[in-house]
């Protein structure tokens, strides 16, 4: 092979390598996780999102006018994937919508032993009935206590928000976002939403606390929140840390193969060591 040919070949390989490298990058870029930004300063507590959610998923459709549900603090339940709560704060009433945070690295999917809980490549975390064995490890692990269980059923489901995964695939927005009359909910990629949230804080520094809940919490979540009062006052846990939850079990799971290689070797060694001792004694 002469020099020129060699160069050609290597050049070709290099070029194709570079191309695949680019491809990989591009792939990552257009698979941005989607999320929703909740601006609690814009929420008026009309609970249209609760209603829309119930209708979209065949769950309980609350009677918003008459049920006085805002009087109590509620959590999402096995009948309602999302609820709105009212908090009395320094700046008056604040309404907060609650649902699954669609963590970037969810505890629930790391917990699930059948991958019934799944982080989809689009971003929403969904639950798949045919796989679930009903062990409720996802419930024990979720830092936000989101997955709920149908204890009353012989064939129980795990219920939690799936960010309207089916609607997203039809190119629609989540039902709650569409139903919101004030624009308190906004759907988009997390990158876009972060930019919008920062702009709002920047333009109205007196109106917002300078923190976006969900930016770093438990490694970042798909659902983001803006608030006018410190987040502790409106029912958020701010002590969860920024470590993604699967990291907590990572070391243990790494250690498993090590022990599996190491322990039998050690034990077999010990076995033969003690054996030799015996025979020499005899």
Partner 1 sequence: MESYSYINIFETKGLEYILLICFLLLFIYFVRYIFSSKKKADENMK
Partner 2 sequence: MAGKNVLEIGTATPFKKGYKMDKKTIFFGEVKRFFKFILQEMKPRGKWLTPFNIISLPIMFIGFILLILRFVKGLGYATNLSQEFPWGFWIGFDVITGVAFAGGAYVITFVVYVMKVEKYHPIVKVTVLNGLLAYMFYAGALVLDLGKPWNIFNPIIGNSFGYNSVLFLVAWHFLLYMATEFLEFSPTIAQWLGWEKLQKILKSLTVGAVIFGITLSILHQSGLGALFLMAKSKIHPLWYSEFIPVFFFVSSIFAGLSMVIFEGTISHRVFKDKIDSKHHAAFDEIIFGLAKGAAITMFVYYFFKALVFIHGGQWSYLTDSWGIWYLFEVIGLVLIPCFMFAYGAKNRNLGIIRTAAILTMIGIILNRLNISIITFNWNIPAVYYPSWIEIVITLMIIFTEIWVFRWVVSRMPVFED
- Residue ranges binding partner 2 (CB under 8 A): 75, 77-78, 107, 109-116, 130-137, 139-141, 143, 145, 148-156, 237, 239-241, 245-246, 248-249, 251-253, 256, 259-260, 263-264, 267-268, 270-271, 274-275, 278
Distance CA(256)–CA(219), nearest Å, equals 24
Residue with smaller CB distance to partner 1, 121 or 210: 210
Instruction: Count the neighbouring beta carbons within 10 Å of the beta carbon of residue 150.
Output: 15
Residue with smaller CB distance to partner 2, 205 or 235: 235
Instruction: Count the neighbouring beta carbons within 10 Å of the beta carbon of residue 41.
Output: 18
Q: In 3-state terms, what secondary structure has residue 87? A: strand
Token duo for residue 221: 């979540």
In the list partner 2, ligand SF4, partner 1, none, the entry touching 211 (Cβ below 5 to 8 angstroms by class) is partner 1
Give pairs for 66-71: CB < 8 Å, separation 24+.
70/45, 70/95
Residue with smaller CB distance to ligand SF4, 62 or 222: 222
In the list ligand SF4, partner 2, partner 1, none, the entry touching 130 (Cβ below 5 to 8 angstroms by class) is partner 2
Footprint of partner 1 (CB under 8 A)? 209-211, 230
Q: How far is the CB of 137 from ligand SF4 (least distance, A)?
A: 4
Q: How far is the CB of 174 from ligand SF4 (least distance, A)?
A: 14
Q: How far is the CB of 117 from partner 2 (least distance, A)?
A: 9
In the list partner 1, partner 2, ligand SF4, none, the entry touching 21 (Cβ below 5 to 8 angstroms by class) is none
Distance CA(164)–CA(147), nearest Å, equals 15
Asked if residue 87 lies in contact with residue 234, where contact means CB atoms within 8 angstroms, the answer is yes
Q: What is the DSSP string of 145-177?
A: ---EE-TT-SS--EE---TTHHHHHTTPPPHHH
In the list partner 2, ligand SF4, partner 1, none, the entry touching 209 (Cβ below 5 to 8 angstroms by class) is partner 1
Footprint of ligand SF4 (CB under 6 A)? 100-103, 106-108, 111-114, 116-117, 125, 127, 132-138, 142, 144, 146-147, 158, 160
Distance CA(142)–CA(245), nearest Å, equals 9
Q: How far is the CB of 211 from partner 1 (least distance, A)?
A: 4
Q: Measuring CA to CA, which residue among 108, 87, 110 is closest to residue 97?
A: 87
Displacement of CA 210 from its chain's centroid (Å)? 22
Torsion angle defined by CA atoms of residues 262, 264, 267 and 271, in that order, rounded to the nearest 10 degrees:
-140
In the list partner 1, ligand SF4, partner 2, none, the entry touching 102 (Cβ below 5 to 8 angstroms by class) is ligand SF4
Residue with smaller CB distance to partner 1, 3 or 210: 210
């Amino acid at each position: 092979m002469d020099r020129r040919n060699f160069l050609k070949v290597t050049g070709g390989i290099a070029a194709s390598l570079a191309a695949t490298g680019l491809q990989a990058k591009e792939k990552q870029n257009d698979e941005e996780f989607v999320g929703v930004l909740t601006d609690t300063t814009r929420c008026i507590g009309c609970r249209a999102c609760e209603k829309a959610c119930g209708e979209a998923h065949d769950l309980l459709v609350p009677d918003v006018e008459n049920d006085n549900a805002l009087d109590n603090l509620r959590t999402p339940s096995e009948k309602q994937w999302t609820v709105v709560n009212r908090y009395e704060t320094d700046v008056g009433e604040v309404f907060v919508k609650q649902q699954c945070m669609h963590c970037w690295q969810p505890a629930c999917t790391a917990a699930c032993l059948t991958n019934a809980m799944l982080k989809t490549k689009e971003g929403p975390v969904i639950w798949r009935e045919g796989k679930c064995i009903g062990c409720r490890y996802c419930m024990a692990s979720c830092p936000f206590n989101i997955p709920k269980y149908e204890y009353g059923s012989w064939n129980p489901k795990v219920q939690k928000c799936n960010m309207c995964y089916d609607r997203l695939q039809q190119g629609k927005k989540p039902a709650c976002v569409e139903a919101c009359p004030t624009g308190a909910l906004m759907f988009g990629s997390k990158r876009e939403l972060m930019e919008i949230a920062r702009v709002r804080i920047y333009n109205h520094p007196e109106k917002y606390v300078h923190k976006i809940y969900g930016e770093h919490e438990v490694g970042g979540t798909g659902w983001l929140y803006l608030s006018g009062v410190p987040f502790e006052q409106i029912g958020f846990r701010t002590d969860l840390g920024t470590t993604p939850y699967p990291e907590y079990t990572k070391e243990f799971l790494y250690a498993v193969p090590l022990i599996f290689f190491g322990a039998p070797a050690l034990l077999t060694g010990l076995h033969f060591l003690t054996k030799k001792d015996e025979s020499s004694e005899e």
